[in-house]
Amino acid sequence: MQGIQYPISGACQCGQITYQLLEPPLRVIACHCRECQKLSTSAFSLTALVKVEAIRFQGPLQHWQRLADSGNTNCAEFCPGCGNRIYHFNPEQPDIIKLKPSTLADTRIIQPTLHVWVSEKQDWFEIPAGVEQHPTQPW
């Protein structure tokens, strides 16, 4: 995306966790599953797939995990102070971090190119024409 300068800084709400995103994400995804609606307290949750080596974190992260409907283990890292989710990861994909990109200082990279779990999408939300979508998890 033009005009975006890397690294981009990011932080939780209280500032205890900070990070630097060193390069563009591989992909930005909007997930409409009920669990992501709970997480985001909105219609969907946004995730930027980032290579592990493309991000540097500072500060103590807290860990939580659950079994996803897809059968994958969904691990989450969040700030122990304010509770802000910073990223998720699947232990079976150790090279990829699922960054919660709304924590970035420059959020212009948040342009989803894929919508998943649209079978659970809120009826009032319209996915833009031409954007890839799947009724469940495609992988």
Q: Residue 66: inside a domain, yes or no?
A: yes
Domain count, the chain: 1
Chain segment 23-72, per-residue pLDDT in tens: 999 999 999 988 888 888 888 999 999 999 999 999 999 999 988 777 77
* Residue pointed to by tokens 């509770």: 83
Q: What domain range is 90 assigned to?
A: 8-133
77 close to 96: Cβ distance less than 8 angstroms: no
Q: What's the whole-model pTM score?
A: 0.85
The domain that contains 88 carries what CATH number? 3.90.1590.10
What percentage of the chain has pLDDT greater than the value 90?
71
Residue 19 pairs with which residues in a beta bridge? 10, 57
pLDDT at 106 over 90: yes
Q: Residue 2: inside a domain, yes or no?
A: no
* Residue pointed to by tokens 């974190």: 57
pLDDT at 1 over 60: no
Q: Residue 81: inside a domain, yes or no?
A: yes
Cα–Cα distance, 17 to 15 (Å, whole number): 5
Predicted confidence at residue 134, as pLDDT, reads: 93
Strand ranges, E, within 36-126: 45-51, 55-58, 62-67, 73-78, 85-89, 96-99, 114-116
Pair of tokens at residue 75? 């691990």
Q: Residue 44: inside a domain, yes or no?
A: yes
